[in-house]
Amino acid sequence: MKVKFVIKKERCKGCNICISFCPKKVLALDDLEKVKVVNEEACINCGQCELRCPDYAIYVEKRLEV
Q: pLDDT tens for residues 8-54?
A: 999 999 999 999 999 999 999 999 999 999 999 999 999 999 999 99
Rounded to two decimals, the pTM is 0.86
- pLDDT category at 1 given cuts 50, 70, 90 is low
How confident is the model at residue 62, as a pLDDT? 79
- Structural domain for 39, as ranges: 2-63
Q: Do the Cβ atoms of 28 and 5 come closer than 8 Å?
A: no
What's the CATH code of the domain at 53?
Answer: 3.30.70.20
Q: How many CB atoms lie within 10 A of CB 1?
A: 9
Per-residue pLDDT at 65 exceeds 70 = no
Per-residue pLDDT at 66 exceeds 90 = no
Instruction: Count how many domains the chain has.
Output: 1
